[in-house]
Structure 1
Amino acid sequence: MKRKVAGRILFLLSIIYTLSLPLSVGAAECSHGQENGCGGKHSTADNVGSEIQESDCENICGTEDGALLSNELAEDYAEVGSVKVSSRLWELLFGKEGEAREKLLSVGGGVFGVKIKQKNVTVTESKSIPLLSPGDKILAINGKRVSTVSEIQSAVERSGGSSITIKAIHNGSEITLEARPTLIDGEYKLGLSLRDGAVGIGTVTFVDPETGLFGGLGHGICDAESGDIVELHTGDISGVILGGIHKGECGKPGELSGILTGEDKGDLTENCECGVFGVVDNPEAFGGECLPVGTRDELHEGAATVYSTL
């Protein structure tokens, strides 16, 4: 129940952060994580039907600076770009207009492991189908929707070497093409390397001690091939044992490396340009000191204190 309630206000928090981001003073610049996303490893299947292997990916990036949120709404709805936010949701977080209600968030800084399942299967390499390129999405095989590498492998095997129809997204446009699997070492293969998920390490920026809602601010999890934000289907939060910290250099972001424990600690429910958001089962395990959320009228030029984890 806690995850459902927190999930309803999750997207609102990401919008609030977007509203306040240009107004923050002395915010810390993200010093770890690759420029185009996150992860630590991702799963690929070479030539569809072969053994799934692990290969290096990028780190999730999250800053340690606090979230600065606005509490001013001129009308019943606040419009951000093409998104309208109900003032009712705003009231759930900060109370009614003119009603004093201090919102406390627990300062993060700790790390978390993440395992995500993508909404679509991504092509990472195409050896025998010229119309498909790295970053393309496979939508369906022979008219049947597919969302995992194993589903594509099964469809290829069932073909028995006959031509199959592939529906995909190529360079932003939907295409349909024909391909004939080849029998190699007793298995039918298409000559594609595919990925349907990723794992990695991120940094907690804040945790709501009441709901368990957390955010890792900075930027979202991006596709290594296209650089686009990964469309999240499901995501799990787990513990992590850090194995190393690589200091960032000019033009080369630092990164965290480690091992995911596999222990389920919550859900990842939002992946967007602002970062990643989710709900943890035990907020106390991820958060630290609780601080009040700053409002728009409290912002001013001057010295600032940045919380960091060493």
Structure 2
Amino acid sequence: MKKLIYIILLLLLPFTIFAYSEYIEVGGDTLGIEVNSKGVMVVGLYKINGVILNPELQVGDRIIKVNNTEINTPEELTNILKENSSPNKAEITYLRDNKEHKTNLNLSLYQGSYRTGLYVKGTVLGIGTLSYIDPNTGVYGLLGHSLNISNSKEKMTIRNGNSYEAIVTSFTRSRDGNPGSKNANIIKEKIFGNIKSNSNYGVFGKTSKKSTDNNLMKVGNINEVNLGYATILTTNVNNKKEEYEIKIIEIDPSSNEKNIYFEIVDKELLDMSGGIVQGMSGSPIIQDNKIIGAVTRVLIDEVNRGFGISIVTMLEEGDKIADLN
């Protein structure tokens, strides 16, 4: 009887089976990223006649309704305000830290148009590095961290988006205290894939790009990672993917996002970039012919050092959208 009870309990316990592949295509490509937000993002405030008109709002807030009408673009916000019955204010619903708030948006009429004292946007355009493609599902992941609202640590909630092929044109070198950037031209005529998810562990979507056996590499679990030398695969100033040597200093299997602490030791990469730069996030980390992680963050005060996220964490997160079109 006890055995029967144990079997029934095991059947009833919830568990998750991840379907990601044992061998995946390694990234390293620089991609353009364009995503549309849910709601209108506040990215700045300005004074009107020397006064901040709506001081209760702050960068990172997301306006989702005006007078109980849902909005997703700055144009929709402008059009609703044109039809507003009150000349001085409109009721808005906004999100901050995923909590819903309501307030009155103060307005200033100027030459027939309403001004709010807010800089807002509904679309974000940038670049990042492809980490992997799962050949069985077409799911791909990049960045290794969330895409945040400008000048804010607030994670962007997206409606939809696309990634595009891009050509790296130059590097703005990193200096301690001032990380640099990859600079690239985004080719919007060449869509790489859609974007379905923006999570703490990366940006994920699906692509129809076909993998070949020659491009596949075995997945390495964080427990298989060793201290010492490894490489990162990233696109250089000549728009060519190359491996560059790093040294893994510390491994933290318990961390959600900062599993691998490393420093760049490759002289060629240091001469080219000065260290880790914006746009390098997502670059695959390779050790012993296995993909073990992806670059996720730079250490601001020591730009030759940074963190990597376990590739398994990204794969598990990407697997959540495997059944989406």
Q: What TM-score comes out, normalization by structure 1 length?
A: 0.62
Alignment match, 1:301: 226
Cα distance, 1:166 vs. partner?
1.6
**Change in CA separation of 1:180 and 1:254 when aligned onto 2, cut-off 3 Å:** closer
Alignment match, 1:246: 172
Higher Cα Rg, which structure? 2
Q: How does 1:63-74 map onto structure 2 within 5 Å?
A: none
Q: How does 1:29-68 map onto structure 2 within 5 Å?
A: none
Cα distance, 1:106 vs. partner?
1.3
Alignment match, 1:191: 117
**Residue 191 of structure 2 corresponds to residue 261 of structure 1:** no
Cα distance, 1:132 vs. partner?
1.6
Equivalent pair of 1:160/1:188 in contact (CA under 8 Å): no
Alignment match, 2:157: 231
Amino acid at match of 1:141: V
Q: Percent identity?
A: 23
Alignment match, 2:40: 121
Alignment match, 2:16: 86
Residues 142-197 of structure 1, C-alpha deviation per residue, up to 9 Å, x if partnerless? 11121221111011111265332122235765332234533323322222211112
Within the candidate set 100, 108, 111, 1:182 is matched to 108
What is the aligned residue count? Answer: 218
Residues 2-51 of structure 1, C-alpha deviation per residue, up to 9 Å, x if partnerless? xxxxxxxxxxxxxxxxxxxxxxxxxxxxxxxxxxxxxxxxxxxxxxxxxx
Equivalent pair of 2:134/2:140 in contact (CA under 8 Å): yes
Q: How does 1:211-230 map onto structure 2 within 5 Å?
A: 211-230=137-156
Amino acid at match of 1:112: L
Cα distance, 1:122 vs. partner?
1.5
Distance in 2 between the 1:246 and 1:231 partners? 29
Cα distance, 1:111 vs. partner?
0.8
**Change in CA separation of 1:205 and 1:77 when aligned onto 2, cut-off 3 Å:** farther
Equivalent pair of 1:165/1:176 in contact (CA under 8 Å): yes
Amino acid at match of 1:275: G
Cα distance, 1:85 vs. partner?
5.3
Amino acid at match of 1:158: E
**Going by fraction, where is strand more abundant, 1 or 2?**
2
**Change in CA separation of 1:226 and 1:76 when aligned onto 2, cut-off 3 Å:** farther
Report the 3-state secondary structure (helix = DSSP H, G, I; strand = E; otherwise coil) of the residue aligned with 1:236.
Answer: strand
Amino acid at match of 2:79: S
Amino acid at match of 2:142: G
Within the candidate set 155, 159, 165, 2:84 is matched to 159
Cα distance, 1:291 vs. partner?
1.1
Distance in 2 between the 1:289 and 1:171 partners? 40
**Residue 39 of structure 2 corresponds to residue 112 of structure 1:** no
Alignment match, 2:205: 278
**Change in CA separation of 1:291 and 1:153 when aligned onto 2, cut-off 3 Å:** same
Equivalent pair of 1:112/1:240 in contact (CA under 8 Å): yes
Equivalent pair of 2:38/2:159 in contact (CA under 8 Å): yes
Within the candidate set 133, 136, 150, 1:210 is matched to 136
- Cα RMSD (Å): 2.9
Distance in 1 between the 2:150 and 2:197 partners? 18
Equivalent pair of 1:161/1:183 in contact (CA under 8 Å): no
**Change in CA separation of 1:118 and 1:77 when aligned onto 2, cut-off 3 Å:** farther
Distance in 1 between the 2:167 and 2:217 partners? 27
Cα distance, 1:300 vs. partner?
5.5
Amino acid at match of 2:169: G
Distance in 1 between the 2:12 and 2:202 partners? 24
Cα distance, 1:251 vs. partner?
3.0
Distance in 1 between the 2:168 and 2:12 partners? 43
Residues 244-302 of structure 1, C-alpha deviation per residue, up to 9 Å, x if partnerless? 222323233331112221122211122122222221221449x97311122467x1635
Amino acid at match of 1:266: G
Distance in 1 between the 2:227 and 2:106 partners? 65
Long gaps (5+) in structure 2: 1-9, 46-51, 237-325
Higher-RCO chain (CA-CA 8 Å, sequence separation at least 6): 1
Report the 3-state secondary structure (helix = DSSP H, G, I; strand = E; otherwise coil) of the residue aligned with 1:86.
Answer: coil
